[in-house]
Amino acid sequence: MKFQTIKGTFDRLPEDSAKWRLVQDKAREVLERFGAGEIHTPVFEDVGVFSKAVGDSSDIVRKEMYTFTDRGGRNLCLRPEATAGMVRAYLEHGFASKPTPVKFWTFEPMFRGEKPQRGRERQFHQVGFEILGLPDALADAEIIDAGVQLLSSLGVKDYEIHLGSVGDPEDRAAYNQYLRDTLSPVLEKLSKDSQERLVLNPMRILDSKEKIDQALLLELKVKPMLEFLGAEAREHFEAVQECLKAWGIPFVIDSSIVRGLDYYRRTAFEFIHNSPEMAGCSTILAGGRYDGLAEILGGQHTPGVGWGCGAERVILAMEAEKITAPPLEKPLVYVIPLDAESMLYAQNVARAVRGIGQALCAYKVKGMGKALADAEKFGSRFAVIVGSNERETGVLSVRNVVTREQESVPFEDLVSWLSKSMISS
């Protein structure tokens, strides 16, 4: 039997690592400048962390979560998103007693049993950023600004920020009732999923990808959620807009935004890439406010706002904009032993060089031509040749792999010689 990756998963190969490393490095650089501490939560949690937080009526809980019972009889699941786990950690480790706000960032794999397609894998990776403890609109604007700064650091420019609001719980309740009243008479015309959503959570119908649902919503001229905002939610929404305008961050008001998770309150936003190549996976960063989540998870009321940025989608956006990542480091030297007696000495040379750069060493004695060809294939800048003469004298033969120029360098001077060569090149 020939084993392969499970459908909806992929191997991240060494040649792909430069882009992934760039996303992670820029996330760390940008988000730690905003004061965020790096956090990593377990890849699996009690299923209640997500079923309570995300909502039993959500597609994630009903159709997409990977759940299992362990040997201790515990009902567990692989995490489908990052926020609930981070809020659980915030509560469990007493962060509520620490100075406010508390800011977390992470870069982790997530798992959802979706139909695999480009930009929608069953194992995917997200950069997450959360601000906990601040109810102010300024925090909402700051977290959007952090998304702008992250994408800017990666060179991604061709996107729009779509800004909306899902209101307070009472606003959502009123809107859900309006949707039930409006759509119940045409229930049989809705898709099967939307018929279920009309009972469980009508707002999710607005997010349906089925053409029959969208056509029906258009035909009935269904009012947007923004028309149902209460006074406080509307004031908060306007304050977020004023902050973004003051900072020169462009956005468009999008009344169609309905976040797919039950814990959202008020602000909701999506960064949508404009490239036709991103069709079907154009949302590269999305989030919003979730002031009720800590209480759902058994804690005290704690305001929160955050986002998730899909690493796979950001990399696709970078490719669409022809953005390349800096190449990974290549070997500084490739050490060539000319005889079996020189093998350990050659390894000693490599160990010395690793203090300043990458060093490889041949594990078998090869002909000079073959060994130099290997040095070139690995992309090494220098080949260090070690034979009986080099061992006896302690003077190494160092050859520039590209120019073929060769110099004699004492072992004790090799590191400093290479350091100077790196500066001068």
DSSP string, 145-206: HHHHHHHHHHT---EEEEEEE---HHHHHHHHHHHHHHHGGGGGGS-HHHHHHHHH-GGGGG
Across 349-354, average pLDDT: 94
Q: Is the pLDDT score of 260 beyond 60? A: no
Amino acid 59: pLDDT: 64
Q: Which helix (H) or strand (E) holds 27?
A: helix 17-33
State the fold for domain 333-424.
Answer: Rossmann fold (3.40.50)
Q: How far is CA 103 from the centre of its chain?
A: 17
Distance CA 95, CA 91 (A): 6
- State the residue for tokens 């004492």: 410
**Residues contacting residue 125 through CB under 8 Å, at least 6 positions apart:** 107, 108, 109, 110, 310, 311, 312
Q: What is the pLDDT of residue 21?
A: 92
The residue written with tokens 């392969």 in the block is 4
Q: What are phi and psi of 382, to 5 degrees?
A: -130, 150
Q: What is the pLDDT of the chain when averaged over all its residues?
A: 90
**What is the structure's pLDDT at 271?**
96
Provide the whole-model pTM. 0.87
Average pLDDT value for residue range 296-325: 93
Residue 126 pLDDT greater than 80, yes or no: yes
**pLDDT at residue 183 above 70?**
yes
Query: Which residue shows structure tokens 């940008």?
Result: 30
Query: pLDDT tens digits, residue range 356-374?
Result: 999 999 999 988 899 999 9
| Mean pLDDT on 338-347 | 93
Start-to-end Cα distance in the chain: 50
44 pLDDT higher than 60: yes
Residues 108 and 128: their CA atoms lie apart, in Å, by 8
Produce one character per residue of 228-251: b if its CB has 16 or more CB atoms within 10 Å, e if not: bbeeebbebbebbbebbeeeeeeb
Interval 183-189 mean pLDDT: 87
AA letter at 99: P
**Could you tell me if 290 and 268 are in contact, meaning their C-beta atoms sit under 8 angstroms apart?**
no
Q: To the nearest whole percent, how much of the chain has pLDDT over 90?
A: 63
Q: Cα(153)–Cα(92) distance, rounded to whole angstroms?
A: 33
State the Cα–Cα distance between residues 72 and 38, nearest whole angstrom: 31
Helices (H) and strands (E) counted in the chain, each on its own, are 15, 16
User: Does 220 score more than 80 pLDDT?
Assistant: yes
Query: How is the chain split into domains, by residue range?
Result: 14-167+229-320, 333-424
The answer to whether the CB of 321 falls within 8 A of the CB of 156 is yes
Residue 234: is its pLDDT beyond 70? Answer: yes
266-290: average pLDDT:
91
Q: Which residue has the higher pLDDT, 145 or 172?
A: 145
The number of C-alpha atoms within 13 Å of 98 and in the hemisphere containing its C-beta is 10
Residue with tokens 């908060």: 236
Answer whether the bond into residue 101 is a cis peptide, omega within 30°.
yes
- For the domain made up of 14-167+229-320, give the CATH fold: BirA Bifunctional Protein; domain 2 (3.30.930)
pLDDT at 61: 66
**Structure confidence by residue, pLDDT tens digits, 49-77:** 888 776 655 666 667 888 889 898 999 99
Checking if the pLDDT of 262 tops 80, the result is no
Q: Specify the pLDDT at position 247.
A: 96
Calpha distance 211→205 (Å, rounded): 11
Nearest residue to 308 via CA among 129, 181, 171, 146: 129
**Mean pLDDT highest for which of 21-35, 61-75, 262-276?**
21-35
Give the three-class secondary structure for 215.
Answer: helix
